[in-house]
Amino acid sequence: MWVSFNHKAAIMKLSIFARLAISYLLLFSMLAGVSLFFLSHLHKFNQVIESIILDDTGQMEHTAQLVDLLLAESRFDRKYVLVKDEQLFESYQRARADFTALLDKIVREPLSPESTLFFENIKTGHEHFSRLVAEEMDHITAAEPYDSEGYDREKQRIANELIEMMKVGRQSREENVFRKIKGLREQTGGAARIAIMIFVGTFVTGALIAALITRSIIRPVNLMKAKTKEIAQGNFSGDLEIHSPPAIHELASAINSMCHKLQAVDTIKSDFFSHMSHELRTPLSSIQEGTNLLLEGHCGAVGKRQERILNIVAEESKRLIELVSVLLDLSKMEAGMLEYHFAKADLAALIERSLLNLMPLAEAKSIAVRNTTGLLPAVTVDAERMEQVFRNIIGNALKFTPQHGTVTIEAAVTEQWLEIAVKDTGIGIPRECLESIFTKFRQVVATTGEKVKGTGLGLATVKQIILAHGGKVWAHSQEGAGSSFYIALPLSS
């Protein structure tokens, strides 16, 4: 158990280069093994072919020549005995010399013990035959009577025996060749089977090694990819625990330490927001409460002038509390620290509710509000924040539209988006300011020079909320003719 763990740890420490080098080496050695196996088989194959060509077929050819020469010897000898022509005897001697020369040549070549014995026997037989011819020749030359028929019978017997022997030898050679070819066929069949097995083995091992190495690299990379996605979504908790090659392991450690630092920054940011919220809101609320107590006469009678001043203080501290809330909310959104509560919601109902809140303002300015949205598909949103968006945009439309104007709310559904448009017949926005109005504290100064109340934070907040929903917000406007604000929200959550 301990040994196998140690083994695993050692493998994990191998760099990507070492892993690739080892696997290539393994594959190359397997291929080298296969090549050696084939080379040795090829060598054996060559040896057998060589022995067939040089040994067997060579001897078969020589045996055939010997048979021809012996037949010629016997033919010339018999004719000489009959007609006593010297020329026939010379032809016999030539054939005999050729036979002997060929046989000597064969015996000088490297032969198997079996072949050596075979040719030695032929040599002995042939010498016997030559001796009989020489003896008969002596009788003929001395012109003395001898057993001519007896000599003829004996020579024929020996010649026939030799020819028969050589025929049998030739046949056994042919069988030998046949046996060798059969053996070769069996060997090549076996080699082909082994080759297929080795090929399949090499292929499977190669694929296995490649899969293991790829997995050991891809798996930690995928884990890191998932972790970075989590970090992008603001989740910094949990360390990456991966067994990987050193290079990737270092990267994982860097991601872990980055996570720890981000976590620390995150804590500092949340501390800052709660601290600021407490430090600013508490004294402002005290000022507001104190002013109200003074106004209500709890600390004695308040004169007209004092009442006017106290009203201004109360109104400004209320404005300041609102500003601090909006500013803190916006800062939280920008820092990605605001929590959204997403759920399926009916935007038409949210628009209705926002309109209800804003109706007093519309009525005060006799502005006609037309809501043509009708039934809308449900979308996944943070309902409270989305209502804040509508209150801001419709509120702006009412704020920047003079008396007796019109504000229209429309909706359109495309394949992927739900689009809401808020159009007014108000003062409009200069073309060069259309982009910047979504930046915080940007307020367009009206051509009249009149300052409209506001914080300059509304549209910046709208943009942050819509972006957090994966949506888009933009505006079209013509100065003096009115503005149109558009929000697009994705239909899929």
Q: Closest CB to ligand ADP among 325 and 443? A: 443
At its nearest, how many Å lie between ligand ADP and the CB of residue 404? Answer: 16
- Contact residues toward ligand ADP (CB under 6 A) are 392, 396-397, 400, 424, 426-429, 437, 442-444, 454-460, 483
Dist CA 436 CA 459 (whole Å) = 10
Say how far apart CA 423 and CA 373 lie, in whole Å.
Answer: 13
CA contacts within 13 A on the Cβ side of 285: 7
Helix (H) or strand (E) holding 158, with range, is helix 148-232
For residue 214, the minimal CB distance to ligand ADP (Å) is 53
CB of 329 to ligand ADP, least distance (A): 13
Do residues 239 and 252 touch, judged by C-beta distance below 8 A?
no
Choose between 350 and 475: whose C-beta lies nearer to ligand ADP: 475
Contact (CB, 8 A) for 75 and 155: no
Distance, in Å, from the CA atom of 324 to the CA atom of 326, rounded to the nearest integer, reads 6
Rg (CA), the chain: 57
Q: How far is the CB of 489 from ligand ADP (least distance, A)?
A: 19
Task: State the sign of the Cα–Cα–Cα–Cα dihedral 436, 441, 446, 452.
Answer: positive
Question: Long-range CB contacts (< 8 A, 24+ apart) of 237-242?
Answer: 237/263
CB of 392 to ligand ADP, least distance (A): 6
Cα separation, 127 vs 121, in Å, equals: 10
The residue (of 245 and 426) whose beta carbon lies closer to ligand ADP is: 426
Least distance between ligand ADP and beta carbon 469 (Å): 18
Strand partners, 81: none
**The residue to which tokens 């024929």 are assigned:** 156
CB of 461 to ligand ADP, least distance (A): 8
Reference 313, options 285, 291, 297, 294; nearest CA is 291
Closer by beta carbon to ligand ADP, 80 or else 390: 390
CB of 414 to ligand ADP, least distance (A): 24
What contacts 24+ positions apart, CB below 8 Å, involve 193-200? 194/37, 195/34, 195/37, 195/38, 198/33, 198/34, 198/37, 199/34
Tokens of 30: 């397997």
Least distance CB 317 / ligand ADP (angstroms) = 18
Give the span between the Cα atoms of 292 and 278, in whole angstroms: 21
Q: How far is the CB of 477 from ligand ADP (least distance, A)?
A: 7
Residue 408, H or E segment = strand 406-413
* Closer residue to ligand ADP, CB minimum distance, 9 or 481: 481
292 versus 455: smaller Cβ distance to ligand ADP: 455
Residue number with CB closer to ligand ADP (125 or 458): 458
Q: 234 vs 480, which CB is nearer to ligand ADP? A: 480
User: Is the Cβ–Cβ distance between 424 and 482 less than 8 Å?
Assistant: yes
CB-nearer residue toward ligand ADP: 129 or 400: 400
When the beta carbons of 309 and 359 are compared against ligand ADP, the nearer one is: 359
